[in-house]
């Protein structure tokens, strides 16, 4: 069974967002990190950057490939996870915990309805 926490919303492009109040924490899914294999470099957006939902805002490089990461929601980046920049393997070992990428102040909470719930995301990655 794929690791798909129930408290998150998911983008079809394999990013997740955990919302608390008007702030979201964003990262990539366990499925995405597994597909990438060993993550060796992460470039995150600068705090203060305004993002639109679906906008490319980060880059993840693994031993296999480099991938753009897209913001699942619109808003302003309020913080980045410096430890994950210094130790990219956190994405592989703890994608839903210490491997988060950035925090964003939501500018349009209604965008969350366009994201996938856990069951929908699990169906996407398992083909069920």
Query: pLDDT digit string (tens) for 74-89?
Result: 999 999 999 999 999 9
Query: Could you read off the pLDDT of 93-107 as tens digits, one per residue?
Result: 999 999 999 999 999
Measuring CA to CA, which residue among 34, 1, 26, 36 is closest to residue 121? 1
Question: Which residues does 110 contact at the CB level (< 8 Å), separation at least 6?
Answer: none
- Using the structure block, give the residue that is written with the tokens 């991938």: 67
pLDDT at 128: 66
- Section 20-42 average pLDDT: 96
Cα separation, 49 vs 13, in Å, equals 21
Band of the pLDDT at 2, cuts 50, 70, 90? low
Cα separation, 113 vs 32, in Å, equals 22
pLDDT at 1: 45
Beta bridge partners of 17: 9, 26
Domains of the chain: 9-126 (2.40.50.100)
Asked whether 3 and 126 are in contact (CB, 8 A), the reply is: no
Dig out the tokens for 69 from the structure: 């990461």
Cα separation, 102 vs 119, in Å, equals 24
Measuring CA to CA, which residue among 67, 61, 55, 6 is closest to residue 38? 61
């Amino acid at each position: 069974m794929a690791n798909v926490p129930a408290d998150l919303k998911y983008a079809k492009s394999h990013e997740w967002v955990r919302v608390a109040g008007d702030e979201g924490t964003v990262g990539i899914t366990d499925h995405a990190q597994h597909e990438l294999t060993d993550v060796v470099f992460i470039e995150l957006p600068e705090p203060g950057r305004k993002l639109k939902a679906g906008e490319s805002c980060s880059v993840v490089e693994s031993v296999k490939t480099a991938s753009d990461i897209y913001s699942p929601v619109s808003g302003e980046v309020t913080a980045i996870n410096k430890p994950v920049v210094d130790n990219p393997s956190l994405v592989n070992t703890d994608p839903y915990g210490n491997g988060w990428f950035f925090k964003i102040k939501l500018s349009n909470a209604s965008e969350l309805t366009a994201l996938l719930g856990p069951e929908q995301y699990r169906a996407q990655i398992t083909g069920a």
